[in-house]
Amino acid sequence: MEWLRIPSAPERKRSKITKSPFYFFMMSKKTEWEEAGRWSPKKTMEDLVHATFPIWKVNQQEDPEFMAPFVEMHRRWKTEQMGDLENKYDSLGRPLADIEREMARQRKKVMDMEKEVEETVMKAKKRGSLNKTLFYVGYFNYLCKTDQGFYIPCEGAVVEFSLEKGISRCWQEFLSPLDSIPIGYKYKCIQSSRVTHNLTPEFEHYQTDYSKIMDSLVMFLGGGDSLPPLYVMPDHMDTADCITQFIINKSSSKLNFKIFSLSKLLQELGHYPSIHIAQALMEEDRYSHHAGLGCQFHESLSNPHHCSLSICKRMFFTLASSCSNLYRLHLKPGRHLPPDQVEENLASQLQITSLSYVREERINRKVPTPGGVTSVPAQFDPKLMVTDKSKESTSPTKNDEDFPNPPVTNICLAKSTGAIPKTSHNPFRARDVREKPSVAKTRATHVKSVQGWGDNIRLL
């Protein structure tokens, strides 16, 4: 029997030179200078580094987008060094080539989005109508996120605003999850809703007709074949993209929603040098606990903090306050700021008793109720708390006769061990509930006890 000899793959010689983005910049400058006759082939790589590094540093500080083409060259070179990605897989069995293509698609999507936001602001500035330009801020609540990355919808809201007039219109709807809740996820939905928006899968006011939802939202955005973008926070873009796509699929519509970054919009409006500064300002959420911003349901529950409508309004209020000095905005309550006075709707508060919702009454359900165990300080001396008035005055006064001094006895306290000491001379010892009180004491006083941890039960 002869063994088959399978030739092994030839070993590839790895290049010792790490081609960073700066390396590709050097090579491009070298080619440019050689064509212009400004560079001699006899010069070394070290000479090229000293000649190009000052130019690289200056361009990097003046134009942050200067490095983009060289970073892309470095990424392609790194991909080529890894070899054939079609036959290589990650720990989950996904081809590395598919992962690389998805990352390239996401990068292109972000670049196109940022470019469109910049062009929108620039065109409005050239027309001189930036203060009157309408923008739309959106937020979507969800019951929970599945293991497949799907966000089960339950509520959505969109706010129309301009820098000059502030909030002009609002759209809010309770989105029915329909059949999108997988088996076994109901407890997870209730667990998440309990501490957030309080909506349950059985909520009675869900809108189940997604054709009406789509028509009302499209009409709110102005109609037409090309809808304006919805601006959301960067960490909410995946959620908004998933839920808006769910609305499109259920309504069988051919329109598409564009989900853009609200932080990028603030960066362009406020002329901030970095998107991270704009995002830090948006994350402050300085109006998070103002009442009167949410829908009637969440206002009735005194929980507008997690309402989609309230979140949309607060995001615009934060944006307006960040741009007020630059554009000299006159901030008006109810338009650019929360309203000064909030009218309580008692009728809506009475109606929520017949609705299905979950609510967490306690601050933290995981914290146990404390028991009746206490401790006595080891250094405590009861003699210091007793005042001997006989030494102060020889003749008793009227107050002294009415309130005589208590007798002083020698008390030996046990050391504190984290529980009530069980000594016969301890005046602070709690009575054990297992002791049978006398009949006279039982008739004279009725003492209520509270069950706690440990053998000794503290009496109230």
- 3-state SS record for 45-57: HHHHHHHHHHHHH
Least confident of 65-69, 181-185, 228-232, 447-451: 447-451
Closest to 206 measured CA to CA, from 355, 360, 347, 354: 355
CA-to-CA separations, 338 to 139, 276, 342, 384, in angstroms, rounded: 18, 26, 9, 57
Cα pseudo-dihedral 251, 257, 261, 267, rounded to 10: -140
Under the banding of pLDDT at 50, 70 and 90, the label for residue 300 is confident
Mean pLDDT of 422-430: 53
Cβ neighbour number for residue 71 with a 10 Å cutoff: 12
What percent of the chain shows pLDDT beyond 70? 69
Give me the chain's average pLDDT, please: 78
Mean pLDDT of 352-373: 56
Please write down the long-range contacts of 381-390, taking CB distance under 8 Å and 24 or more positions apart: 382/411, 382/413, 382/427, 383/408, 383/411
Query: E strand or H helix at 105, and its extent?
Result: helix 96-127
Residue 6 is classified by DSSP as P
Which stretches does DSSP call E strand in 114-257? 135-145, 151-162, 166-173, 230-232
Alpha carbon distance 231, 246 (integer Å): 18
Task: Give yes or no for residue 172 having a pLDDT over 90.
Answer: yes
Asked if the model's pLDDT at residue 16 lies above 70, the reply is no
Distance CA 262, CA 252 (A): 28
pLDDT in tens, 336-352: 999 886 665 544 454 55
Single out the residue of 323, 139, 118 nearest to residue 231, CA to CA: 139
What are the tens digits of pLDDT across the range 132-149?
Answer: 999 999 999 999 999 999
pLDDT in tens, 217-257: 999 998 888 899 999 999 999 999 999 999 999 999 999 99
Alpha-carbon distance 332 to 321, whole Å? 11
- Average pLDDT estimate for 354-382: 55
Would you place residue 438 in the very low, low, confident or very high pLDDT band (cuts 50, 70, 90)?
A: low
Q: pLDDT class for 2, splitting at 50, 70, 90?
A: very low
Q: How many residues are listed for the chain in this entry?
A: 460
**pLDDT at residue number 455:** 44
65 class by beta-carbon count within 10 Å (0-12 exposed, 13-18 middle, 19+ buried): exposed
Who contacts 199 (Cβ-Cβ below 8 Å, separation ≥6)?
141, 143, 154, 155, 174, 193, 357
Residue 279: name the closest of 299, 265, 296 by CA: 265
Sheet holding 151-162, edge to edge: 166-173, 151-162, 135-145, 230-232, 259-261
User: In one letter, which amino acid is 43?
Assistant: K
Phi/psi of residue 304, nearest 5 degrees: -80, -10
What is the value of pTM for the model shown?
Answer: 0.64
